[in-house]
Amino acid sequence: MFNIRTLQDRIEDSVSRERMVASLSGVFGVLVTVLAAVGLYGVLAYSVSRRMREIGIRMALGARAGLVLWMIVRETGLLVGAGSVAGILMAVAAGRALSRSFAGVSGADPVLIIGAAGVMFLVAGVAVCVPAMRGCRVDPLTALRHQ
């Protein structure tokens, strides 16, 4: 007899490939989330910098910093909301396609989909902090002279 091992060792060897794929999927998921946050931050920072003159005029006419903050956060919410709706629709379609190919994969797990959308809104909330604060602290005179 050769290669004598316990049943537990044999089971671990048989699922090692699936564990590796699951670990890689988790790493790629985190990487995609970080890339989405960086991309969203870039878009929002660019949007705020392009609207600096408008924000300066609003502040000069008496708009409070809270209203400017709300304007930027609302824009972010609309952006992330539209992206989340498109992502949810694509996830449901991909889930249904995968459920035909793999046993045990449901077409649309509402807890998972709502959780993913919630994480994306949380990431968007973190990504909008710096551009929104920069937009709230705009000095009207500096913003009007800027361009």
Instruction: Encode pLDDT of 27-55 as tens digits.
Output: 999 999 999 889 989 988 898 888 888 88
Tokens of 131: 């551009």
Buried b (16+ CB within 10 A) or exposed e, 13-43: eeeeeeeeeeeeeeeeeeeeeeebbeebbee
Tell whether the model's pLDDT for residue 1 goes beyond 80. Answer: no
* pLDDT, position 44: 87
Whether the CB-CB separation of 106 and 20 falls below 8 Å is answered with no
pLDDT grade for 15, boundaries at 50, 70 and 90: confident
SS3 for 88?
helix
pTM to 2 decimals?
0.73
